């Protein structure tokens, strides 16, 4: 059974900091790993998808890396802004049901 863990559970930082959010998974036989953002009471917005053959993906201030062999992914957020405040979720997809982590709740204060 796949287990996905996200560390830290919560993070509060001042605006402008560079951040690293961590996601680890127990079964490395994945098709892909996807990072999402969830605002309170809302749906999930896709941020980045990394296929199993890829090492990283970038979109604007976001960069996600994947190390399948160690079962880890990191989401790097550069120059954080108050609008980045949300919960960040990672989800892995493989030869088993899609599995989400509990998320990292991020607050960026001005």
Partner 1 sequence: EPEVTQTPSHQVTQMGQEVILRCVPISNHLYFYWYRQILGQKVEFLVSFYNNEISEKSEIFDDQFSVERPDGSNFTLKIRSTKLEDSAMYFCASTRMQGNAPTEQYFGPGTRLTVT
Judged by CB under 8 A, which of 21, 101, 106, 108 binds partner 1? 101
CA 33 to CA 40: how far, in whole Å? 22
Residues touching partner 1: how many (CB under 8 A)? 22
Burial 21-51, CB ≥16 within 10 A → b, else e:
bebbbeeeebebbbbbbeeeeeeeeebbbbe
Positive or negative, the CA dihedral 8, 10, 12, 16 is: positive
Query: Is residue 11 part of the contact set for partner 1 (CB under 8 A)?
Result: no
User: Pattern of binders to partner 1 over 40-59, x per CB under 8 A?
Assistant: --xxxxx--x-x--------
User: What three-state secondary structure class fits 29?
Assistant: coil
Q: Is 71 in the site for partner 1 (CB under 8 A)?
A: no
- 83 lies in the site for partner 1, by CB under 8 A: no
**Ramachandran area for residue 65 (φ above 0: left; ψ -120 to 50: alpha; else beta):** beta
Q: Which stretch binds partner 1 (CB under 8 A): 8-16, 60-68, 70-78, 86-94?
A: 86-94
User: Among residues 26, 82, 98, 109, which is the contact residue for partner 1, using CB under 8 A?
Assistant: 98
Residue ranges in contact with partner 1 by CB under 8 A: 31-32, 34, 36, 42-46, 49, 51, 89, 91, 93, 96-103
């Amino acid at each position: 059974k796949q287990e996905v863990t996200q560390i830290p559970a919560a993070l509060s930082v001042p605006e402008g900091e560079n951040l690293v959010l961590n996601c680890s998974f127990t079964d490395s036989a994945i098709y892909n790993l996807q990072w999402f953002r969830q605002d309170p009471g809302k749906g999930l917005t896709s941020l980045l998808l990394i296929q199993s053959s890829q090492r990283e993906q970038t979109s604007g201030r976001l960069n996600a890396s994947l190390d399948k062999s160690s079962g880890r992914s990191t989401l790097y957020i550069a120059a954080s802004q108050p609008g980045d405040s949300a919960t960040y979720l990672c989800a892995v997809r493989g030869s088993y049901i899609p599995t989400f982590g509990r998320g990292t709740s991020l607050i960026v204060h001005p």
